[in-house]
Amino acid sequence: MPINFIPNDPKASGGPPIRRKTPRAERASSVAGFTYVAHGSAAPHPQGDPQFLFWQSREAALAAVATYEGLDGRKVTRWARSANRRKLDLRPNAGTDLNAYYDGQSLSFFEYTTGSKTTWSGASTDVVAHETGHALLDQVRPDLWDSSYTETNAFHEAFGDCMAILTGFEDSATRLLMRTRLRRQNFLEATAEDLSDGVLRALGASHPAAKPRHARNTFKWALPSSLPSSGPPTVLSSEVHSFARVFTGCFYDTILYIVRDRIGASNTPTSAQLAAAVRTAGKLLLQAAAEAPVTVRFFQSVGRAMVLADQAANNGANRMAIHDAFQRHNIALGSAAMLAPVAALEGTVGRRGALSRSAVQDLRMRLGAASAERMLVEQREIGGLTVVCATHLKQVPLGGLDRRLRGVVAIAPRPVLVRSVDRTVALLGGLPEATTSDDEVKAFVETLLTSDRIAFDRSARSGIKSAARQDVRLRLPTHAVHKVGATRVLRRVRFAC
């Protein structure tokens, strides 16, 4: 039996309408999939019916995974941190809230009623694809989960929005509509229209999430610490969903400029040309997201990795498009600098990227790593080149920010790239600046404090259930303090919305 399916968002203006379709086949048990709540059989259930919500959210989550796999070329075989690595719980309606989250175990969606209107976040393909995007990024980059930089966390949000856009573009009815709307704001580059309308009704127009996020935007990158920590939807702030729009803008404009370079700036692409341009950009994004070192300037790091991936895969055919797109949002890439040898280190690089003891010692000294701080060393590919990524996990004390954080540290990853060049160990691209990572971590944690995202008591960690806690709508904690050995560390518990 066919189901009713909303291909974009219940409130997408000018988007494809709700339609009947055959539900997607279930994923094979040998790959990563979902655990479902009890549900009835597939049928064209009406909007607002719990059965509709189930089939809608299932369809959207499977579409997002299929989009990712189609671009990546590989099946997703395990999730990053769920108890059963093959399964994530898909919870179409986990209670009353204006929210949605990925917490490593589940994709959870909510309902919320203001006056006569109920918002179901799981009814939006945008929102479901966004949360699925968090899970997909997490399985390929689990190291980003605990990173305490604004840009790595904002990138996680941007990746969710990019997955919503890429998932939309895979839909042929959507693509036909998009041919003529690509260059102006439209239903596809706007995400979560219905949920933001719910926020507008419940919390007012000045709430940061009271308008949809747009990927077609003119936001310019600025140091996160120079931005306000919160603001209305029109203002760029250092809050991660707000700041994410800079990267989403770079990605959407990359698609636009690839189309420009292939068919001209004012011609209308065919559906096939549009699909090809989107797939080119999507593949580069996925590869770059997997390869980019976790630097404080992670937007630039991913942009550079996109250029290097394009060089390896397409002979640099899209280099100009990527450069122009990032430049439009005030991010200069200078990709060649990332892998340029700048200094010779002690020691040697062995098989599979093993660094000799003296090479590690030399790096620890140059990075000022304390003896208790760990160095992670792994071999990886960046733009087709095999390099060694050595990451100093610096512990940044947070006690100066808030008394509740006394004795608590956040982990600041400080990656350096090295490779063997003519039998010497060459440092590539330079060392991270000495105090920047501390400043970045503190700015990020200050934003978490301002927006009340740290759970300081246990009850708040498990989520919002009781009516008494409803005043914290959209303030679901994303972080909590955990004991790791003898150290108290600020760690992530979920990505909310």
Q: Residues in the site for Zn ion, rule: CB under 5 A?
A: 157, 160, 495
Q: Could you tell me how many residues make up the chain?
A: 497
The residue among 160 and 413 lying less far from Zn ion, judged by its C-beta, is 160
Token pair listed for 270: 């065919």
Token pair listed for 100: 């949605």
CA angle, 389 then 390 then 392, to 5°: 140
The residue among 248 and 311 lying less far from Zn ion, judged by its C-beta, is 248
CB of 488 to Zn ion, least distance (A): 26
The residue among 33 and 160 lying less far from Zn ion, judged by its C-beta, is 160
Helix (H, G, I), strand (E, B) or coil at 313: helix
CB of 359 to Zn ion, least distance (A): 38
CB of 156 to Zn ion, least distance (A): 7
What Rg do the C-alpha atoms of the chain give, in angstroms? 22
Cα dihedral 448→149→195→222 (10° resolution): 100
The residue among 138 and 291 lying less far from Zn ion, judged by its C-beta, is 138
CB of 71 to Zn ion, least distance (A): 20
* Nearest to 241, CA basis, from 3, 2, 476: 476
* Nearest to 18, CA basis, from 52, 58, 66: 52
The residue among 54 and 495 lying less far from Zn ion, judged by its C-beta, is 495
Residue 355's φ and ψ, nearest 5 degrees, are -90, 140
**Rounded distance, CA 25 to CA 23, Å?**
6
CB of 160 to Zn ion, least distance (A): 5
CB of 34 to Zn ion, least distance (A): 18
CB of 188 to Zn ion, least distance (A): 18
The residue among 112 and 495 lying less far from Zn ion, judged by its C-beta, is 495
* Nearest to 159, CA basis, from 187, 176, 142, 136: 136
CB of 134 to Zn ion, least distance (A): 6
**Rounded distance, CA 497 to CA 480, Å?**
17
The residue among 111 and 161 lying less far from Zn ion, judged by its C-beta, is 161
Helix (H, G, I), strand (E, B) or coil at 489: strand
The residue among 157 and 171 lying less far from Zn ion, judged by its C-beta, is 157
Q: What is the DSSP string of 131-191?
A: HHHHHHHHHH-GGGTT---HHHHHHHHHHHHHHHHHHHHTSHHHHHHHTTTTTS--TTTEE
